[in-house]
Amino acid sequence: MLPGKTKVLLTREQIRKKVKHLAADIARDYEGKKPLLICVLKGAVVFLSDLMRNLSISVEIDFMAVSSYGSSTASSGVVRILKDLEASIEQKDVIIIEDIVDTGLTLSYLRENLLSRNPGSLKIASLLDKPERRVADVEPDYCGFRIPDEFVVGYGLDYDEKYRNLPDLCILLEFGK
């Protein structure tokens, strides 16, 4: 049983349509190229798997896991790499695949870290954007939905490792244990 109450913010159907559009935009922009999609674990894994299956161009994938020090619902901006990429990204066309940009501190760290590895190009695709809470100067190049300042779960996003399996994106109304 899931502990807290949730309210649907974006249905699976709304997300499905948006992901299809994002994939079409990316395929158009990267025609004739083979971008490397870097999925930021674990929250972006559902987005990555839906996005890549909608892409009409060849892609490679790799994974990174980062943790930001601080509580589970607030970002501190101090980022630690828990799992690094398998291969060099030098001269590759890289797209960071994120679940959500909130303060932007995690993404800003990741972007600088990846830029120091000399990719051919670097862009950011995020399913969700909470612009109200932005602290760092970072914007996704491809963005699915702008959402209000609420804590959301489902479609890969968790609270305390729960709710990732919900097919819709939901607002978490109670932070139960």
Q: What does the binding site for ligand 5GP look like in residue numbers (CB under 6 A)? A: 43, 68, 75, 98-107, 151-153, 157-159
Q: Name the residue type at position 132.
A: E
Q: How far is the CB of 54 from ligand 5GP (least distance, A)?
A: 21
Q: How far is the CB of 162 from ligand 5GP (least distance, A)?
A: 10
Q: For ligand 5GP, give the closer residue by CB, 60 or 139.
A: 139
> What count of other Cβ atoms lies within 10 Å of the Cβ of residue 156?
24
Q: How far is the CB of 133 from ligand 5GP (least distance, A)?
A: 7
Cα angle 84, 85, 87; round to 5: 140
Q: Which of 126, 136, 135, 132 is nearest to 157 (CA)?
A: 126
Distance (Å, whole) CA 43 – CA 101: 11
Q: Catalytic residue among 62, 102, 129, 149, which?
A: 102
- DSSP secondary structure of 126-158: EEEE-GGG--SS---SEEEEE--S--EEBTTB-
Q: Is 102 a catalytic residue?
A: yes
Q: For ligand 5GP, give the closer residue by CB, 30 or 97.
A: 97
Q: How far is the CB of 72 from ligand 5GP (least distance, A)?
A: 8
Q: For ligand 5GP, give the closer residue by CB, 63 or 159.
A: 159
Phi, psi of 48 (to 5 degrees): -55, -45
Q: For ligand 5GP, give the closer residue by CB, 43 or 144.
A: 43
In the sheet where 6-10 sits, what is the strand order? 6-10, 169-172, 152-153
Q: Name the residue type at position 21.
A: H
The catalytic site residues sit at: 102
